Structure 1
Amino acid sequence: MGKNVAVITGTSTGLGLSLSEALAKAGWKVYATMRNLDKAQGVQELMDTGLSIELLQLDVQSQSSIDTAIQRILEKEEAIDLFINNAGMGFLRTVEQATEEEYKNIFDINTFGVIRCIKSILPHMRDRQKGRIVAISSVGGLVGQPLNEIYCASKFALEGLYESLATYLTPFFGIEFMIVEPGGIVSEFANTVLSQINESGAFQQDVYEPVLQAYLGSREKQPAGISQTPEEIATIIVNQLAADELPLRMRTSDWSNNFCRFKTEADPTGLAQTHYVQETFLKR
């Protein structure tokens, strides 16, 4: 029997790259995908070490690109066992400052991109009556935060998507869903958000500039546990994937658990609510 097969989106840097390495080292065959193959240096370096990783182009903003990538994988492999929706984009801007093009783009990547990938992989997993679909969300998918309203909205939508899918695709078709909710991640993701602020000048001499300064200052004063490295989070995810049953939701640190506690203490994994919905609407 061959290795279990995992597909990961957004693997050029950060958590996607670390997940590719961690899963391959754990014995998986990994398809590391990204929109721009010119940014594949990190993946190529992993492949050069002999890890079981293949590089593939996949743009989450294009349904045809996603469908083509998945079809290519299925032509080579017996099955896709795990699909990780990791590709995402941060956005620190107020509703007043953001253009329509900007906030549509955030949703197109963070939310609609995930929907496109799930739409493409579902027929295969449904036919097999087996598979796992993981999303990299954020504590921002559970708790709204200052100046992050558009980003949080895109992640709140992602949470609702997964919560709904799990209510029927798991009991009827054996497909499991898990949402990963880290706090801060020490990666290029955060640096990109800050560079967006500097390049746009959105907050310069703006009524919201004092809010931005207070926000950035408060983050600097937070305990070290607010942020984790991509490698730390990847290890936690891979360890969780060894479980027979996945939680619907998984925070990755004590800090993230504490930050979301007012919404999660009664049902930390999200499974109690999911089972209640199933009992309410899908009694057989």
Structure 2
Amino acid sequence: MELYELDVTQNDTIEEVISTLILKHKKIDVLINNAGAGFSKTLEQASFDEIQWVTEVNYLGVVRTTKAMLPYMRKAKQGRIINISSVGGLVGQPFNELYCAAKFAVEGFTEALATYISDPFNIHLTTVQPGGISTEFMNNAISKTVTEKGEFATGEYAAIFQKYLEGVQTRSANSENSPYQTGKEVAQIILDIANTEQPPLRVRTSAWAEDFTKLKTAADPDGRLILESVKKDIL
């Protein structure tokens, strides 16, 4: 296994790693945009620096790595780009408006790019939409909600946020109806997508995620219909 360090908010580190890999292996078959960070805070409470950070890590990082990778995949006439999104990329959730906005952007970016990249260049794009993964992701997201005074949401939002936090804790503890999967479970789904000849545009990773997003996905579960419709109407 080879590990290379990069920062998805810094173009030079992305380009350096990709150049190193291309020089060594001549091509890159799969790009998995997995970098991301949760964020649960009211819009009023969030600073503009925090808003910029959430957007940089969760959305613009995907744009940067994809932009850097596309010329090589296009030249090779093959590739898989798998963007780790979230059910929050389909359904807005309380106290997650900034995180959801970034993930909604990932969904739109992926869908639009797929309309003209997939067929002529054999580059397939997929967004993966977990409900939650049993890592430190949620704990880190909640920790960023604490103010310098050690408080969570304050003022008129405090009671609403407390109810939200209790719900998160209850769902985490309920193994029979938990939105959370292990990282290994989600990784296996990503591996299957990478090895699929005609991967879908969108994939939920659990029954919970399917149920949570069903009002948005029932008519076109894997996104293939919307892609074909847009290409027929516009291209």
Q: Specify the TM-score bucket, using the shorter chain as the normaliser.
A: over 0.9
Residue 204 of structure 1, CA deviation = 5.5
Residue 74 of structure 2 corresponds to residue 121 of structure 1:
no
Indicate whether 1:176 and 2:121 are aligned.
no
Moved more, 194-203 or 90-99: 194-203
- Report matched runs for 1:241-260 at 5 Å: 241-260=194-213
Aligned partners of 2:30 and 2:194 also within 8 Å: no
* Cα displacement (A) at 1:205: 4.3
Deviation by residue 1:67-96 (Cα, 9 ceiling, x = unmatched): 111000001002100000000111101110
- How far has the Cα of 1:248 moved from its partner? 0.5
Question: How far, CA to CA, are the matches of 1:104 and 1:159 in structure 2?
Answer: 19
Alignment of 1:86-125 (within 5 A): 86-125=34-73
| Alpha-carbon offset, residue 247 of structure 1 | 0.6
- Aligned-partner residue type, residue 220 of structure 2: D
Check whether the contact 1:97–1:202 (CA below 8 A) recurs between aligned residues. Answer: no
* Superposition deviation, residue 202 in structure 1: 5.0
Determine the C-alpha separation between the residues in 1 that align with 2:48 and 2:154: 22
| CA–CA distance in structure 2, aligned partners of residues 173 and 247 of structure 1 | 16
Partner of 1:15: none
Q: 2:147 & 2:34 partners in 1: Cα distance?
A: 25
Is it true that 1:262 corresponds to 2:222 in the alignment? no
Q: What displacement does 1:267 show? A: 0.3
Counterpart residue number, 2:93: 145
Give the letter for the 2:155 counterpart.
Answer: D
Deviations 1:207-238 (A, max 9, x none): 21111111122223335331111111111221
Counterpart among 143, 168, 172 of residue 219 in structure 1:
168
TM-score (norm 1): 0.78
Tell which has more relative contact order, 1 or 2 (C-alpha 8 A, sep 6+). 2
Paired with 1:168 and 1:117, the residues of 2 have a C-alpha distance of 18
* Runs (5+) with no aligned partner, structure 2: none
Partner of 2:159: 210
1:275 aligns with 2:228: yes
Distance 1:163 1:198, change over 3 A: same
Match of 2:107 in 1: 159
After superposing on structure 2, the runs of 4+ consecutive aligned residues of structure 1 that deviate more than 4 Å are none
Please tell me whether the aligned partners of residues 166 and 177 of structure 1 are also in contact (alpha carbons under 8 angstroms).
yes
Which secondary structure state, in structure 1, belongs to the residue aligned with residue 106 of structure 2?
A: helix
> Is the alpha carbon distance of 1:205 and 1:130 closer, same or farther for their aligned partners in structure 2, counting shifts above 3 Å?
closer
Secondary structure, in 3 states, of the residue corresponding to 1:54?
A: coil
Contact 1:93–1:202 under 8 Å retained in 2:
no
**Percent identity of equivalent pairs:** 43
Give the structure-2-normalised TM-score: 0.94
| Greater mean alpha carbon deviation, residues 220-229 or residues 178-187 | 220-229
Mapped contact 2:41–2:153 kept (Cα < 8 A): no
Q: Unaligned stretches of 5+ in structure 1?
A: 1-52
Q: Encode CA deviations 1:140-166: one digit per residue, 9 max, x unaligned.
A: 000000000000000000100000000
Deviations 1:238-282 (A, max 9, x none): 123322111100000000000000000110001100111011111
Q: CA RMSD in A?
A: 1.3
Q: Which has more strand, going by share of residues?
A: 1
